[in-house]
Amino acid sequence: MSKTWLLVADAAKARLFEIPRKGADLAEIACFANPNARSPGQHPEHGRSGRTHESANSAHHAIEPHTSLREKHAMQFADQLRDAIQQGRIENQYDQLVLMAPPRFLGMLRDRLDDQTRKRVVAEVGSDLLALSPNELRAHLPS
């Protein structure tokens, strides 16, 4: 009998479930938290973006970082979740994987999976469903 894991996540928190046989309750097997998820997206020391001078005139422009601090923390959290589900695959704890996350974080997570883990993904749900109960989550699972 095949085992299926369900990862429900956003950039701040994630819950990992095992989906038992049809009709049975989802069994939560792990919970993850990203304490840095709610940090502001600005430089932590002064709360403002850096400034630069235009050499041709006296105009000042804010330097926008390519990746905000909040996004870097989300990427680190996605890496942590990737490590957990890849370890589960290596240990043969599941055969199939379902991912549920808001579209942006879902893409971030998907991009981090190795090929062997990606092959086990049988469904993706691009919605923020983290606040739902296990019974409510089951209703959002694809058939």
Asked whether residue 59 is assigned to any structural domain, the reply reads: no
- For the whole model, what pTM was predicted? 0.79
Asked whether residue 58 is assigned to any structural domain, the reply reads: no
pLDDT over 70 percentage in the chain: 79
User: pLDDT for 47-71, tens place per residue?
Assistant: 444 445 455 566 655 655 577 888 8
> How many Å apart are CA 93 and CA 133, to the nearest integer?
23
Q: Structural domain tally of the chain?
A: 1
Asked whether residue 105 is assigned to any structural domain, the reply reads: yes
Residue-level pLDDT at 54: 52
Asked whether residue 44 is assigned to any structural domain, the reply reads: no
Domain that holds residue 84: 4-39+67-140
Asked whether residue 57 is assigned to any structural domain, the reply reads: no
- For residue 90, how many other CB atoms are within 10 A of its CB? 10
Identify whether the C-beta of residue 116 lies closer than 8 Å to the C-beta of residue 95: no
The domain that contains 115 carries what CATH number? 3.30.420.60
Asked whether residue 27 is assigned to any structural domain, the reply reads: yes
User: pLDDT for 66-82, tens place per residue?
Assistant: 778 888 999 999 999 99
